[in-house]
Structure 1
Amino acid sequence: MFVAIVDIVLKDEKKDEFKTWITESNKTLSKFNGFVSRRLLEAQDGTNRIMVEFNDMESFKKMHSSPEHGKFAGEIGQFMAQPPQRNFFQVVAE
């Protein structure tokens, strides 16, 4: 399993709109081979992360180079107070 954890800082006035955007854009992402899930997480201190899971890195890379992802990349900036910080992981034990 391949996991991307993305630390994000949302504009306060865009938080609710971003939740809707995540839910709607997940409908498109779910059609990609290897897609498992994408979730918006909120910590007790109010910080946010996005967790994206794919079966493998190759499936993630194919999605990441798609026109659909390009569209999402163009839209996501309107919600962000700072650029997202991405970290990538491979599940090594369960």
Structure 2
Amino acid sequence: EIQFTNNAGDYIFLDEKGNHMAHYAVRNTVNLPAGLGLLVKVGRFVSDSPPGESLAISEEMIEWPLFVCAKSVLGRIETEARSRYGRF
């Protein structure tokens, strides 16, 4: 396995046969005050991993967006789910 950084700053991974192995960082944008955003690594994708292990995500690292109407919408969704399914 060979690993190096090319002129563009990308990490390149090659297996023992010289085949390119895809390695990607999964990133989430964290919104900061004044409209600034910060990219945070929340996972990875490795193409040559065993089946079912190529993608790894750390869900607790993800900042999900909040909306002003989120509570009122969630309340309506819960009410609708309870009326259809009896529980939620």
TM-score, normalising length: structure 1: 0.22
Higher helix share: 1
More strand by share: 2
Select the structure of larger CA radius of gyration: 2
Higher relative contact order (CA 8 A, sep 6+): 1
TM-score normalised to the size of structure 2? 0.23
